[in-house]
Amino acid sequence: MKAERDELGFDAPAPLGHPVRASLPENAPTGPAIGDRLPDFSLPDAFGQMVNFHEDRGVSKAALIFYRSAVW
């Protein structure tokens, strides 16, 4: 497949217009604001252990990354 360049100049191996390549809308929501406490949650980790975010973090600083997928 021919690589097509998007309006921001990025190349990717999927055709333009494909939903995986959509740029984010200008007013895309970005969740909790600076100064907010991150909402707490529990999710399983890669080894099946339930992880409660704030409990696991304890008194550490943290970076919480939301990414699209490890598959594609």
Partner 1 sequence: MRDAFAKFEAAGIKLYALSYDDQETLTEFAEKQGVQYTLLSDTDSRVIKQYGLLNEQLSKKDAFLYGIPYPGVYVCDENGTVVSKFFHDSYKKRESPEMLIDAALGRITIDETAPRADSSDEGIRISAVLHGGNGSLRQGIVRQLITTFDLPAGLHIYGDPVPQGLTPTEIKVEGPDGLVTLPMQAPPTAPLHLKALGIDLNVWSGTVSFATPLYPVGELVSECRPIDEREVELSVHVTFQACTDETCLLPQTRTLTLRVELEEVDVPNLPIHTGHGQREGHYDSVPAMKRLIWRKARNNPLRLLQFIWNRKRMERRSKR
Spatial distance between the Cα atoms of 3 and 6, rounded to a whole number of angstroms = 10
Q: What is the dihedral of CA 19, 20, 23, 25, to 10 degrees?
A: 60
Q: How far is the CB of 7 from partner 1 (least distance, A)?
A: 9
Q: How far is the CB of 6 from partner 1 (least distance, A)?
A: 8
Answer yes or no: are the C-beta atoms of 51 and 42 closer than 8 Å: yes
**22-51 binders of partner 1 (CB under 8 A):** 22-26, 28-41, 43-48, 51
Number of residues that bind partner 1 (CB under 8 A): 63
Q: How far is the CB of 3 from partner 1 (least distance, A)?
A: 3
